[in-house]
Amino acid sequence: MLVVHHDLQTVPEYFDWVTLLNVRRIASGPVAQVFTDENLRQTYGGRIAFDSDRSGDYEIMVVNADGSGMTNLTRHPAWDVSPAWSPDGRRIAFSSDRDMNWEIYVMDANGSNLMRLTDDPADDDHPTWSPDGSRLAFVSWRTGDAEIWIMNLDGSGATNVTNHPAEDWDVVWGEW
């Protein structure tokens, strides 16, 4: 096994088999197959999403890991917060109060194809992706206190998975 830095892609003739690692193996094989944009993004962290009120209200921003390429993805006067990248890096889930109460939204990582996934008068916030990218967990107050809910990517199948009178927060969906 050979672990290489991506600068070595400029001299691929020296390598007939390479492996990219980032905690776990990203890809192995010939240089041309391993050094794809997607594999490099997974290896080097790619872009960072965050929420910021630098424009006067909160927006979902993305920036390259070196600080370049700062982009406002939402540009909406409501608050847009709590961004979460999908596992494949192609989409970002977030929460916004643009429809008069907090709902979960998802958009492509360039800000296009915005969709609202929840439609409930209670607050729905803090989305996080399942490891396979097929579902979202989030915090909802629709039972009167904060609970962890799970739903499909089209907003269907919303299920309360905590069901406890105390307030349940800060969900992280692990891969076990």
Minimum gap (Å) between residue 40 Cβ and Ca ion: 31
Residue type, 158: A
Minimum gap (Å) between residue 49 Cβ and Ca ion: 14
d(CA 77, CA 143): 28
Minimum gap (Å) between residue 19 Cβ and Ca ion: 42
Question: Given the complex with Ca ion, which of 89 and 155 has the nearer CB atom?
Answer: 155
Minimum gap (Å) between residue 95 Cβ and Ca ion: 9
d(CA 70, CA 62): 6
Q: Compute the radius of gyration of the chain from its Cα atoms.
A: 19
Interacting residues toward Ca ion by CB under 5 A: 57, 59, 76, 80, 101, 103, 120, 124
Minimum gap (Å) between residue 75 Cβ and Ca ion: 7
Phi, psi of 170 (to 5 degrees): 55, 55
Phi, psi of 29 (to 5 degrees): 145, -165
Length in residues, the chain: 176
8 Å CB contact between 140 and 149:
yes
Question: Given the complex with Ca ion, which of 80 and 147 has the nearer CB atom?
Answer: 80
**Half-sphere exposure (CA, 13 Å, Cβ side) for 16?**
0
Which tokens is 74 given? Answer: 């939402």
Question: Given the complex with Ca ion, which of 26 and 73 has the nearer CB atom?
Answer: 73
Question: Given the complex with Ca ion, which of 11 and 100 has the nearer CB atom?
Answer: 100
Distance of CA 7 to the CA centre of its chain: 27
Question: Given the complex with Ca ion, which of 57 and 108 has the nearer CB atom?
Answer: 57
